[in-house]
Amino acid sequence: MNPGLRKFFVPVLAVVIFLILWEALVWVMGWPNYKMASPSDLVPAYAKYWNLFFIMGWQTLWRTVVGLVLAIIVGVGIGMVMGFSRTMREALYPLLVGFNAIPKATVVPIVALMFVGAHDFNTVLIAFMISFFPIAVSISIGLSTLEPEYRDILRALGASQATIFWKIALPKTLPEFFGALKVAVTLAFIGTNLMEIVSPHGRGLGALFDSAKTNSDYPLMFAVLIALAGLGILLYYIVVWLENTFAGWAERQPG
């Protein structure tokens, strides 16, 4: 099969198989939809609330993307500082690890109280806070493992630190960067929905999920979860496309 077609049909087939198994599990176990909704229960929910899914899905998506972009900018900046300086790496690693170890669900109420009413800002901030860590670490590792011979040769030729970064360090770290970005995409969605659910303000898919929970509309709750998964998959494949465009050379070809 053509590699391009395989990359399309294999994931689609996996999703179809997952939905079939999910439907069969609910049918075999005899679970009512208030205990475990099946894929067939989700279709009426999407048909009934399609306009809310469109509006609130967009609200969740753009705030997640903005938080992710900020995470990339800050994460790359911190990673560069840590990658080029052993002192800064030893100083910042404990702080980053400690910050990342704090459950973000406990941070959400604090942020909501600090910036009362700034719903978009709060949501973007949490998405950023939960997703920049893997980017910073991947850039730091990529730069710190750069062969010193390359640096010495370029410095001997009069290259600046910025030139070394753009010509050697950046291309070398691209595979690690995109690998971390794939993880950061899912984390950013987690951050967005934490704020939307824990600090409800009537916006985003998290608010729709919370509303469905309040009204005991279980098919709608599961429909929101699948919609979130769909948005995550969409952003993931955008990252894959960017990776193939800018770092496709690093992909191992079958022998």
Question: Running DSSP on this structure, what letter comes out for residue 172?
Answer: H
| Element at 178 (helix H, strand E) | helix 170-198
Distance, in Å, from the CA atom of 18 to the CA atom of 24, rounded to the nearest integer, reads 10
Evaluate whether 141 touches 176 at the Cβ level (below 8 Å): yes
Residue 21 has pLDDT above 90, yes or no: yes
Residue 255 has pLDDT above 60, yes or no: no
Q: pLDDT tens digits for 104-113?
A: 888 888 888 8
pLDDT of residue 63: 94
Tell me the average pLDDT of the chain.
85
pTM of the predicted protein model: 0.85
State the amino acid at position 91 in one-letter form: A
Angle at 81 between CA 244 and CA 65, to 5 degrees: 45
Distance, in Å, from the CA atom of 234 to the CA atom of 58, rounded to the nearest integer, reads 13
- Written as six digits, the tokens of 246 are 């800018």
Distance, in Å, from the CA atom of 219 to the CA atom of 26, rounded to the nearest integer, reads 13
Mean pLDDT over 210-227 rounds to 90
pLDDT of residue 65: 95
Q: Is the dihedral of CA 139, 134, 137, 142 positive or negative?
A: negative
Evaluate whether 42 touches 155 at the Cβ level (below 8 Å): no
State the amino acid at position 157 in one-letter form: L
Residue 188 has pLDDT above 80, yes or no: yes
Q: How far is CA 157 from CA 115, 149, 170, in A?
A: 51, 12, 19
pLDDT of residue 175: 84
Question: Running DSSP on this structure, what letter comes out for residue 251?
Answer: S
> Which top CATH class is 45-250?
mainly alpha
Q: Of 198, 234, 213, 224, which is closest to residue 62 (Cα–Cα)?
A: 234
Mean pLDDT over 213-227 rounds to 90
Residue 152 has pLDDT above 80, yes or no: no
